[in-house]
Amino acid sequence: MKVKLGDVTKAAGFSPTTVSRVLNNRGFFKENEDWKAYLLVMILSRSG
């Protein structure tokens, strides 16, 4: 299953901009947002 940006934003409760910044390692984001977004990508990519 491919994980879409919308899947991560919905599960994490972040804006698409925040998730994009975390995944592309650009711009400002909080450290807890970093780990939560990566974890959700891993979890969502393994489900389904």
- Residue 8 CB neighbours (<10 A): 25
Long-range contacts from 2-6, C-beta under 8 angstroms, 24+ separation: 2/45, 3/41, 3/44, 3/45
pLDDT at position 8: 82
Phi-psi region of 25 (alpha: psi -120 to 50; beta: other; left: phi over 0): left
Stronger pLDDT, 13 or 46, i.e. the higher one: 13
Stronger pLDDT, 21 or 16, i.e. the higher one: 16
Q: Contact at 8 Å (CB) between 3 and 44?
A: yes
pTM equals 0.63
pLDDT band of residue 1 (cuts 50, 70, 90) is low
